[in-house]
Structure 1
Amino acid sequence: MIHRDGREERYSRQVRFAPFGADGQQGLALSSVLVVGAGALGTGIAETLARCGVGRIIIADRDYVEWSNLQRQQLYIEADAQERIPKAAAAQRRLRQINSEIVIEAHVMDVRAEELEQLVSEVDLIMDGTDNFDTRLIINDIAQKHSIPWIYGACVGSYGITYTIVPGETPCLHCLLGAIPLGGDTCDTTGILPQAVQLVTANATAEALKLLGKRKDQLRNKLLTFDVWRNEHQEIGVMAAKKENCPSCGSHPIYPYLTAANTERSDVLCGRDTVQIRPVRPQMLNLLETAKRLSRIGSGSVDSNSYLVSFIEGPYRMVIFADGRALIHGTKDIAVARSFYHRYFG
Structure 2
Amino acid sequence: MEDWTRYSRQMLFKPIGENGQKKLKDSKVLIIGMGALGTVIANHLVRAGIGHVVFCDRDYVEKSNLQRQMLFDEEDVEKYMPKAAAAELKLKKLNSEVRIEGHVTDINADNVEEFIDGVDIIMDGTDNFQTRYLINDVAYKYNIPFVYGGAVSSRGMSALLIPGVTPCLRCLFPDGGSGGQTCDTIGVLAPVVDISASMQTIEALKYLTGNTEKLRGELATFDIWNNHSYNLQLGKRRDECDTCGKEIFPALTKREDDGVTTLCGRETVQILLKQKLDLTEWDGRLSPVAETKKTPFLLRARLKEEEITLVIFPDGRVLVQGTEDISRAKTVFSKYIGM
**SS class of match (2:260):** strand
CA distance in 2, matches of 1:231, 1:214: 32
Asked if 1:317 is matched to 2:322, the reply is yes
| Match of residue 65, structure 1, among 61, 64, 71 | 61
Counterpart amino acid of residue 6 in structure 2: R
**SS class of match (2:118):** coil
CA contact (8 A) 2:30 2:123 kept: yes
Q: CA deviation at 1:244?
A: 2.2
Superposed, 1:52-131 pairs within 5 Å as: 52-131=48-127
- Tell me which residue corresponds to 1:215: 211
Distance 1:330 1:47, change over 3 A: farther
Asked if 1:260 is matched to 2:254, the reply is yes
Query: TM-score under structure 2 normalisation?
Result: 0.78
CA distance in 1, matches of 2:218, 2:151: 17
| Match of residue 187, structure 2, among 186, 191, 204 | 191
Distance 1:247 1:262, change over 3 A: farther
Counterpart amino acid of residue 112 in structure 1: N
Superposed, 1:102-181 pairs within 5 Å as: 102-180=98-176
Query: TM-score under structure 1 normalisation?
Result: 0.76
CA distance in 2, matches of 1:73, 1:267: 23
Counterpart amino acid of residue 242 in structure 2: P
CA contact (8 A) 1:318 1:326 kept: no
**SS class of match (1:11):** helix
CA distance in 1, matches of 2:183, 2:328: 21
Q: CA deviation at 1:20?
A: 1.8
Distance 1:330 1:23, change over 3 A: farther
**SS class of match (2:188):** coil
Counterpart amino acid of residue 54 in structure 1: I
Spell out, residue by residue over 1:243-300, the C-alpha distance to the aligned partner (whole angstroms, 9 max, x if none).
12322012x41111111349856289xxxxx9688xxxxxxxxxxxxxxxxxxxxxxx
Counterpart amino acid of residue 266 in structure 1: V
Distance 1:122 1:326, change over 3 A: farther
Identity rate of aligned residues, in percent? 44
**SS class of match (1:114):** coil
Deviates more, 1:85-94 or 1:172-181: 172-181
Which consecutive unaligned segments of at least 5 residues does structure 1 have? 269-273, 278-311, 334-346
Distance 1:13 1:275, change over 3 A: closer
**SS class of match (1:140):** helix
Superposed, 1:286-325 pairs within 5 Å as: 315=309, 316-319=321-324
Spell out, residue by residue over 1:6-62, the C-alpha distance to the aligned partner (whole angstroms, 9 max, x if none).
xx3111111110122211111100000000000000000000000000000001000
CA distance in 2, matches of 1:267, 1:193: 26
Spell out, residue by residue over 1:281-333, the C-alpha distance to the aligned partner (whole angstroms, 9 max, x if none).
xxxxxxxxxxxxxxxxxxxxxxxxxxxxxxx987433255xxxx775378639
Distance 1:55 1:313, change over 3 A: farther
CA distance in 2, matches of 1:171, 1:2: 39
Distance 1:332 1:123, change over 3 A: farther
Counterpart amino acid of residue 32 in structure 1: K
- Tell me which residue corresponds to 1:332: 333
Distance 1:23 1:331, change over 3 A: farther
Q: CA deviation at 1:114?
A: 2.3
**SS class of match (2:240):** coil
CA contact (8 A) 1:11 1:53 kept: yes
**SS class of match (1:126):** strand
Which consecutive unaligned segments of at least 5 residues does structure 2 have? 263-267, 272-305, 310-320, 335-339
RMSD, aligned CA: 2.5
CA contact (8 A) 1:266 1:275 kept: yes
CA distance in 1, matches of 2:191, 2:331: 35
CA contact (8 A) 1:66 1:81 kept: yes
Q: CA deviation at 1:92?
A: 0.4
CA distance in 2, matches of 1:330, 1:231: 48
Distance 1:89 1:220, change over 3 A: same
- Tell me which residue corresponds to 2:240: 245
May I ask how many residue pairs the two structures share in their alignment? 284
CA distance in 2, matches of 1:160, 1:313: 35
CA distance in 2, matches of 1:62, 1:202: 23
Off by >6 Å, runs of 4+ in structure 1: none
Distance 1:263 1:26, change over 3 A: farther
CA contact (8 A) 2:269 2:324 kept: no
CA distance in 1, matches of 2:174, 2:308: 35
